[in-house]
Chains A and B, each alone.
Chain A
Amino acid sequence: MSEKKKGAGFWFGMDAETFYPAFHAELERRLKILDEKLRTEGSLVTKCPMWSYAALAFAMLWAIVFAVLGYVNPIPLWAHMSFYGSLLILVVLIGIDRVRKGR
């Protein structure tokens, strides 16, 4: 690599010889912490509780129901009303959960 290419210039903040060794050293330090965390806790941060996925499943289920109903038509009113009702119940349940946990 030529000196011109290696050096800091218009595009780069630092020259390659200063940047990459420090970058790789910091990357290694962070990967070591990541490794430790993955082995002990399975994640860098608090893991997602299983009930969180239930919210996804709920939404997916309604999306499928609406896709089928929209495709076959006509869409019955009960489908609309029960969707909004169940969404409200989900919001209330999550609210209760968060209040219970003091957040």
Chain B
Amino acid sequence: MAKEAIEKEVLFGALPVLAEDRVYGFVDYVWLQMAYGIASWAFLVGGLTGIVLPATEAITAAIAGEGLGLFASAFYAVIFGRYGADQFLLTRAAFGNRGGNLQLAIWIPINYGWIAYSAFLFGMSAIKLTPLIWPQVPSVLATVWPGATLWAVIATAIASYVAWKGPIACKWFTRVTSPLMLIVLGGLIYYIFAVEGIGAVFARQPVAAYETRHLSWMNAFEWNLGLGFAWCYYWGQWSRLAKTESAALHGPWWGWGPVLCIAVVFSILTALIVGTFDPTDWFMAIGGATFGGIGLFLFAIANIGSIVLLIYTAAIPIKVAIPRIRWVHASVTIAAVPAVVLFQEVVFNNYAVFLTLIGCLWTVYGAIIFTDFFAFRKKKGYWTVDEIRDMYMMGKIFRYHKGFNLAAWITYLSSVIIYLGVYNPLTGYVGYFGVGFPWVSGLLLVFGYAIALYWLLMHLIYPQEVKRLRVVE
């Protein structure tokens, strides 16, 4: 392969990324993860939390939820950085060769969901912004349907182009969009402290609280936990490009941790003032036409940054699964285009359901990977080069049962059943067991359950494999 083709395969493809090929340092990572998380998810989850809880309690629900979810999986960053390997390649160790690919097939539609929220937020911003700039705008561009959907498609097209250009383009794009996001956040902070007054905000009551404070807190905790655990699927695609293990760990730690929490907290406070969870309603309500319009514009652009990163993140594992596929198909045709079907108001209005119902899938995935990496593989120094090769070649070592690790898949499926028994994501009340939520968090329960069950099943179904992993050569 020519040198250029190899470079392309490294940054745009499946090959392990060596030290000299790495392009992201600590600061780049922080920008990157801010662009990822704040523009859409942090503002939306903060908005949801702020309409069910008063400030003091909402802040604890956010920090506890984001923190427990994120930091339970943060160790992965180091592992992917160490091997320069993609997330879904090393997933094959836990789920089996084919099982890893099945996980990818489950995750790609989930990623469409994330793209849909960012893109639709761009669309909602655009339909509110366009009439300010162009008062005679045709109604087709200024209504939720089809206006917001059309704008969302345009945002995705722009983002696909940047993602198609690759990780260096992503780096420069996020260096522009993340500061825009900080300006928006700074505007909200200024408004809350200087105009509204922090005491007044803390005295406000939520507009859509549940019957009891405990039920409200537990639901808010569940949503934030859903977002915190969501990162489980997103470590490897970026950590493989980190210049040091420390950068791989600290970039996401700060970007998805404290910085994201600051954004969530100020979203909570803004939602308490404005009384709606939709961030695109906040800017006009607190800033008027001029400042609100500027805020909305910056917010819309920042959301494109989020879509860029989501598309690139999905394209890499697609290249791992099908190395020969053209980059344009990995990054545009498969990773981005099908998401368009989700650009609808009904999806947008059900963000809480997405974080919990679908969130259960990524929480259990995270628990299984966590147990596999740290309970079984760590003692042996994670993987040998032969094992890494075997994962690439879909060889015998991680074949388990016809390519599927039964211990992982039984755990995965049974955890979903347990989760729906404990918590009903559609209603926010207890699930079909009739007992569990709100006395216990559904996601936290299944995270613990999955760890215990996977550990047990590995010993029962694959005792030879467990024995092999105990012996340090």
Contacts and interface: CB of A to CB of B under 8 A. Distances in A.
Q: Do A and B bind each other?
A: yes
A14 B57 contact: no
Contacts of B81: 43-45, 48
B39 interface: no
B389 interface: yes
A52 B249 contact: yes
Given A45-B81, A70-B61, A62 B74 contact: no
A19 B18 contact: no
Interface string A60-74: 101110110111011
Nearest to A26: B6
A26 B61 contact: no
B64 interface: yes
A73 B214 contact: yes
A66 B67 contact: yes
B288 interface: no
Interface in A1-39: 11-14, 16, 19-20, 22-23, 25-27, 30-35, 37-38
Nearest to B69: A63
Main secondary structure of the interface of B (DSSP, over half): helix
A15 B277 CA distance: 51
Interface of A is mostly: helix
Contacts of B6: 26
Contacts of A13: 324-327
A90 to B, nearest CB: 9
Contact of A48 (B19, B83, B245, B326): B245
A33 B18 contact: yes
Given A30-B18, A34-B385, A75 B64 contact: no
Contacts of A22: 1, 5
A23 B78 CA distance: 26
Contacts of B377: none
Contacts of A49: 246
Contacts of B72: 60
Given A26-B6, A66-B60, 5 more contacts: A12-B326, A44-B82, A64-B68, A67-B64, A69-B60
Interface of A: 11-14, 16, 19-20, 22-23, 25-27, 30-35, 37-38, 42-49, 52, 55-56, 59-60, 62-64, 66-67, 69-71, 73-75, 79-80, 83, 87
Q: 6 closest A-B pairs (Cβ-Cβ)?
A: A63-B67, A22-B1, A48-B245, A67-B64, A70-B60, A66-B64
Interface of B: 1, 5-6, 9, 15-19, 22, 56-57, 59-61, 63-68, 70-72, 74-75, 78, 81-84, 213-214, 217-218, 221, 242-246, 248-250, 253, 257-258, 323-327, 329, 381, 385, 388-389, 392
